[in-house]
């Protein structure tokens, strides 16, 4: 069975419409218009509606970069709040040259999953250890820390690790361990040291370059990485999340990867992460495998 994962109603975020390779989203007080390669259908709302609603527009340039056009008094950086049980995660948004703003809203379903599973593991392990690889600006790390876990956050880009650290402070959290390193090398070293984690989160890109020029291609490297991670995931008190944004990747590939690499797999679920637009369109945004 293929599951469909979509965030609960989130007051400060809404996908308004998508189509013609674009999406229109509200982040807090501002509505952004930016490219979306998955939206290959026609828009529901007309161009006049899109133009009237848009506060900030991304204009693509060359080499996968572009620039933002800001209308009126909109800011180029602001904070988004996400309610997580009795906590609030605060995430700073910035307008980057790569069209991203530092938050992937569909990931909120995983933040809830992380928080709930850590609470469950804490019945047996007072302070579970969680490893977040390809951790970007840290939404998952914050969710794990807010739940009371000892969190290690690994990303090869120093700027986004600093960004995640800013989010930690905004959220009133502390003591996340920040590591700027290639994910594969870090995992291999942890396996050699015999370190064990109760939760592992990985959100690998389709392509990437590590801190020392290491080349990452998801289809070539992910199986080996999961094999290494199987050596450091606790056999009993555990959870794991594997996100894949690579276009065209099937959730059955994720299922096979996890089943082949983890023996004590427990419960495994796979499916698609989606956002439901106000216009009625469903936007798919990657596949995910979650085990516990």
What's the confidence (pLDDT) of residue 74? 87
Of the chain, the percentage scoring pLDDT greater than 90 comes to 88
Query: Using 50, 70 and 90 to split pLDDT, how confident is the model at 159?
Result: very high
HSE-up (13 A, CA, CB side) for residue 252: 1
- Asked if CATH classification 1.10.10.60 holds for the domain at 77-291, the reply, yes or no, is no
What's the confidence (pLDDT) of residue 265? 86
What's the confidence (pLDDT) of residue 134? 97
Q: What residues are paired with 89 via a beta bridge?
A: 82
Instruction: Kindly tell me if the per-residue pLDDT of 239 is higher than 80.
Output: yes
Instruction: Kindly tell me if the per-residue pLDDT of 114 is higher than 80.
Output: yes
Q: Are 287 and 254 in contact (CB under 8 A)?
A: yes
According to CATH, the topology of domain 3-70 is Immunoglobulin-like (2.60.40)
Instruction: Kindly tell me if the per-residue pLDDT of 246 is higher than 70.
Output: no
Q: Vertex 90, ends 89 and 91: CA angle to 5°?
A: 115
What's the confidence (pLDDT) of residue 3? 95
Q: Is the pTM of this model over 0.75?
A: yes
In the predicted model, what is the mean pLDDT of the chain?
95
CATH code 2.60.40.1180 region(s) in the chain: 3-70
Query: Using 50, 70 and 90 to split pLDDT, how confident is the model at 213?
Result: confident
What's the confidence (pLDDT) of residue 247? 63
Q: Are 272 and 244 in contact (CB under 8 A)?
A: no
pLDDT in tens, 169-204: 999 999 999 999 999 999 999 999 999 999 999 999
CATH code 3.40.50.150 region(s) in the chain: 77-291
């Amino acid at each position: 069975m293929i599951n469909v994962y979509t965030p609960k109603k989130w007051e400060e975020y809404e996908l308004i419409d998508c189509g013609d390779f674009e999406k229109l989203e509200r982040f807090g007080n501002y509505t952004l218009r930016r490219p979306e390669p998955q939206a290959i259908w026609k828009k529901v709302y007309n161009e006049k509606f899109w133009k009237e609603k848009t506060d900030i527009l991304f204009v693509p340039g060359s080499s996968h970069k572009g620039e933002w056009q800001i209308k009126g008094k909109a800011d180029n950086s602001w904070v988004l709040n996400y309610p997580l049980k009795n906590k609030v995660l605060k995430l700073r948004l910035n307008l980057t040259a790569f069209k991203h703003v530092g938050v992937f809203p569909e990931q909120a379903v995983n933040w809830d999953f992380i928080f709930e599973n850590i609470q469950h593991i804490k019945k047996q392990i007072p302070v579970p250890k969680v490893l977040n690889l390809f951790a970007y600006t840290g939404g998952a790390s914050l969710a794990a820390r807010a739940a009371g876990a000892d969190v290690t956050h690994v990303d090869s880009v120093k700027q986004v690790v600093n960004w995640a650290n800013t989010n930690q402070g905004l959220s009133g959290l502390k003591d996340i361990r920040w590591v700027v390193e290639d994910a594969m090398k870090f995992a291999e070293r942890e396996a050699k040291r015999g370190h064990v984690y109760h939760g592992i989160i990985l959100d690998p890109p389709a392509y990437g370059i590590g801190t020392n020029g290491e080349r990452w291609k998801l289809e070539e490297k992910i199986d080996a990485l999961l094999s290494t991670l199987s050596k450091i995931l606790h056999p009993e008190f555990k959870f794991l999340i594997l996100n894949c944004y690579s276009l065209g990747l099937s959730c059955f590939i994720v299922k096979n990867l996890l089943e082949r690499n983890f023996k004590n797999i427990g419960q495994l679920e796979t499916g698609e992460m989606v956002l439901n637009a106000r216009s009625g369109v469903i936007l798919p945004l990657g596949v995910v495998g979650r085990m516990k």
